[in-house]
Amino acid sequence: MNFIYYVKTALLFLPAYISNVSPLLVTRLTGGGTPLDMGMTFIDGRRLLGDNKTIKGTLSIIIVGSIIGLAYDPKFIEFVQAIGVAIGNTVGSFMK
């Protein structure tokens, strides 16, 4: 198989993988933050996005993903990818 192909594929997803971990690191270093859903609840009385989705964490996903992506390849696509990760995490939390 083509080893370079696999390395390039792994590097393509690197900003998303690292930015997905960034809220955990930011929370441990700086403490909690304001809930992303501002405390709103759904019809069943549960929080819309749960207790662990914060504005600080979502911003860290976008910022870290963009920085890692720009360090790898300075194009706009990494910013879009980082926003996609943040939206995916938020939608996943709502579905839970």
Residue 40 tokens read as 């709103």
**Of 80, 37, 88, whose CA–CA distance to 62 is shortest?**
80
The pTM of the full predicted model, rounded to 2 decimals, is 0.73
pLDDT of residue 75: 67
Q: Can you give the pLDDT at residue 76?
A: 63
- 7-45: pLDDT as tens digits: 888 887 877 788 888 888 888 888 888 888 888 888 888
Distance CA 7, CA 20 (A): 20
Domain limits for position 66: 3-95
**What are the structure tokens assigned to 93, written together?**
């939390």
pLDDT score, position 69? 76
The answer, yes or no, to whether residue 81 has pLDDT greater than 80, is no
pLDDT at residue 13, as a whole number: 80
Each residue's pLDDT tens digit, 47-59? 888 888 888 988 8
> Quick one: pLDDT at residue 42?
87
pLDDT for the residue numbered 28: 87
Domains identified in the chain, total number: 1
